[in-house]
């Protein structure tokens, strides 16, 4: 991967802390990070090879699990320079069917954006009790 100024700017734009932000804002920031990486693939800044597919797939899985900081970190990892990449970093995230093309990743991102926000333990308990009653 070449280190173009656009790629460096994209990598830097995905940084910053999420601590203390509301969950819905964290979700927006994480999904925007994934979208920016997918846009970078589409513009040719980033190739869609094994490393990138695994990182984007991990980011989408973390987003679906409401782990927004981890989702954004996985999206940023797709942009790492070759010298920073380690196979052990992504080996635990295999490429799954339906997670191989840009169109499939965009569809999965749209689906993840539609997920309802995560409930707190107290809200979940109240909802379960209401259903049981």
pTM: 0.78
Question: If pLDDT is split at 50, 70 and 90, which confidence band does 1 have?
Answer: very low
Residue of 64, 63, 59 whose CA lies nearest to 80: 59
For 34-73, the pLDDT digits (tens) are 999 999 999 888 888 888 898 999 999 999 888 989 999 9
CA 59/CA 35 separation, integer angstroms: 11
Q: Mind spelling out the 3-state secondary structure of 79-105?
A: CCCHHHCCHHHHCCCCCCCCCCCHHHH
Query: What's the mean per-residue pLDDT of the chain?
Result: 82
- Tokens standing for 87? 């196979």
């Amino acid at each position: 991967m070449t280190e173009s100024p656009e790629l460096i700017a994209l990598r830097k734009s995905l940084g910053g802390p999420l601590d203390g932000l509301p969950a819905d804002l964290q979700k927006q920031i994480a999904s925007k990070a994934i979208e920016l990486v997918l846009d970078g693939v589409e513009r040719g800044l980033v190739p869609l090879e094994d490393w990138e597919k695994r990182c984007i797939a991990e980011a989408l899985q973390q987003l679906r699990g409401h782990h927004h900081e981890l989702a954004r970190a996985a999206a940023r990892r797709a942009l790492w320079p070759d010298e920073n990449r380690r196979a052990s970093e992504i080996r635990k995230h295999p490429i799954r069917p339906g997670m191989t093309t840009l169109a499939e990743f965009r569809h999965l991102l749209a689906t993840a954006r539609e997920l309802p926000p995560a409930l707190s333990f107290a809200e979940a308990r109240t909802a379960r009790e209401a259903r049981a009653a």
